[in-house]
Structure 1
Amino acid sequence: MRHLKLLSHVVEVARSGSIRKAAERLNLTPSAMNRRIQDLEAEIGTPLFERRPRGVKLTTAGEMFVRYARSQIADAERMKSQVEDLRGLRRGPIQIACSQALAFDFLASRIATFQKAHSKVVFDLKVMDHERALAALAAYEVDLALVYRPAIWPTLRVIASIPQRLVVITRADHPLAAKKTVRLSECADYPAALPDRTLSGRQVLDEVATRRELRLNMLAESNSFEMLRGLVSRGNMISFQIEIGAPSGDLGMGLVGRPIDTRDIPTADLVLCQLRGRSLSVAAATFAEILAKGMRSLEPAA
């Protein structure tokens, strides 16, 4: 598979935007790396990179070639994983892009259980907003994406989806914690730490607040759910998250989650997906089914 090494070199140059930096990462001299790229360009018959004083930039042909290279590398990794599966190794890696709400409990607990049975499997986990997660999926950088409220592209295959309510997070001694469900208008009475606008939960809030001419009392915003929880705990603010990631009593954090009335904010889907037409490794496909089963177990009874 010597050709895969050359493909990986092209991908690394594209990623770093510099032949010198890519050569350093791959333990090559810049001249050797440049020569390999030039030989490939001569073979293809067109430049893949535009040389600039401070690095390189992909040409249109280069962008097409990098997509091809990534797909070939991903297919080779899948094939090697399947061979290892036949030998009983099941090494992986399993590459997943996910929303922050999944990171602390839902995804981490299922990975821990999976690795008890398959101790040699390696996970590569990337926490991203839904747009970046889908872009990573399309670029063959991850096997699976587990995200809230994604735009469903024709190139995506949905493995499982479940509806999710938005939840207000408070301290256990907060007035809203005594309610079973909360109206969004009630939240406007309290200081709030909001997810930033790259996150789907905030986008839902902004859409509804604008439509209802409602103004939340935002004192802080962050792209980190850990930071938001800290502000709720230390600053007695309120925050918002989808219910799969909302604090529960067994986490021992002194925080609670109360669902927003669906008359104010309707449910939206949490989606597990892969790239349509892409064959997953046995390890990734097996774990995807575990995630799908876990998601279905959270659906409310009909």
Structure 2
Amino acid sequence: MDGVDSVDSVDGVDGVDLSLRLLEALEAVAAEGSMTRAAGVLNLTQQAVSGQIRQLERVIGTPLVERRPTGIELTAAGEVVLKQGAALLSSAQAMVTEARVTAAGRPDPLRITFKAQSTAHFMPAVEAALRRGAPEVEVRPIASHTLPDEIAALVEGRADAAFLWLPIGDDPRFTVHPLLEEERWVALPPGHPLETRTSLSIEDLADVPVVGPRDGMPEAVVNFWFIDPRPDGSRAVFGPQARTPEECLHLVAAGHGCWIAPASTVTYFAHPKLTWLPLIDATPNVLALIWPKHAANPLLDRLLEETRRALHPLPIATT
């Protein structure tokens, strides 16, 4: 578990020596349904994760996982250990964070830049969890509209971390933690010939201009968001530029083209005149938490932990 290296085991419970790393391994296996994928999450080998699960089973004294054709599932005992283990992991992380905050005195505010439409479904829960673990923490949200805004806030020291959509271009200055995937959806103007469809493919948008921000964006970022070039090698048709979601929605409503956006945008920005349709063959959007590689705020690891915890029970956002 990030940031809890010095708190590794719970001793003295009927002779049980229970390593928190073993509980973290079970949590990852349960979430991923696979030893191999859990190993990737934990940055371990598959053999190491399997060994940790076997060790945990020896400590508990009963099988905790079952291998099935659909993947690895927890036994009833495994579900109990997962539930109680999550509480232990959270308590250990809270202890470490509170101790560090106490030693350092009142911490600096944790400044997080974000796009409201992308984080509204989980960020309030994350902030509440941070405050429960460290009541002295002040979370300072900073709303942004575009990737350059968020990157500038980090580089200039106005923010400690950012929730943003990948890619960000070839930028080695940051630590990047992918969090979730969302389908891409398309906003169409009123009366558009495609509005009666139930879904769209990239090919359907061959002659439809795409609105959105381009100035100041790395080329790889523009190519991703506008899907340029298209899979068949043709080029996207670029419509007018817009910086904010509201500007994009206005341009679409006025008939200047379509807008391709993450699924969470659809539910956050209701518009009476637009039709939203899923783009079924496009690469999903990936939301990440990033911060500068040499960041010193001791709460960043806790921010990542609580964000992953808040997102774990949530499905990928769709309408």
Q: TM tier, shorter chain? A: 0.5 to 0.7
Secondary structure of the corresponding residue to residue 95 of structure 1 = strand
Q: 1:198 to 1:112 in 2, by over 3 A?
A: same
- For structure 1, the residue ranges without an aligned partner over 5 or more in a row are 1-77
- 2:248 is aligned with 1:228: yes
Q: Number of paired residues?
A: 209
Q: Report the aligned-residue RMSD.
A: 4.2
Secondary structure of the corresponding residue to residue 159 of structure 1 = strand
Give the Å deviation of 1:113: 4.3
Q: 1:179 to 1:289 in 2, by over 3 A?
A: farther
Indicate the structure with greater helix content. 1
* Paired letter, 1:272: L
Of 111, 128, 134 in structure 2, the residue corresponding to residue 95 of structure 1 is 111
Secondary structure of the corresponding residue to residue 271 of structure 2 = coil
Partner of 2:186: 168
- 2:197 is aligned with 1:179: yes
Partner of 1:106: 118
Give the Å deviation of 1:125: 0.9
* Paired letter, 2:164: V
CA distance in 2, matches of 1:131, 1:211: 30
CA distance in 1, matches of 2:238, 2:127: 43
CA distance in 2, matches of 1:261, 1:141: 38
Partner of 1:203: 223
Give the percent of matched residue pairs that are identical in Structure 1 and Structure 2: 15
* Paired letter, 2:214: D
Q: 1:290 to 1:106 in 2, by over 3 A?
A: farther
Partner of 2:163: 146
* Paired letter, 1:213: S
Q: 1:206 to 1:236 in 2, by over 3 A?
A: closer
Secondary structure of the corresponding residue to residue 295 of structure 2 = coil
Once the two structures are superposed, what CA deviation does each residue of 1:235-282 show, in whole Å capped at 9, x if it has no partner? 47421223333x13x7542344323242xx433533212233534344
- 2:257 is aligned with 1:216: no
Partner of 1:156: 174
Partner of 2:277: 258
Partner of 2:287: 270
Q: 1:258 to 1:132 in 2, by over 3 A?
A: same
CA distance in 2, matches of 1:166, 1:96: 25
Q: 1:272 to 1:180 in 2, by over 3 A?
A: farther
Secondary structure of the corresponding residue to residue 195 of structure 1 = coil
- 2:205 is aligned with 1:193: no
- 2:126 and 2:310 in contact (8 A); partners too: no
Give the Å deviation of 1:227: 0.7
Partner of 1:52: none
Q: 1:252 to 1:206 in 2, by over 3 A?
A: closer
Q: 1:128 to 1:189 in 2, by over 3 A?
A: closer
CA distance in 2, matches of 1:125, 1:197: 22
- 2:182 and 2:285 in contact (8 A); partners too: yes
Partner of 1:58: none
- 2:111 and 2:141 in contact (8 A); partners too: yes
Q: 1:240 to 1:201 in 2, by over 3 A?
A: farther
* Paired letter, 2:297: L
Give the Å deviation of 1:228: 0.8
Q: 1:208 to 1:295 in 2, by over 3 A?
A: farther
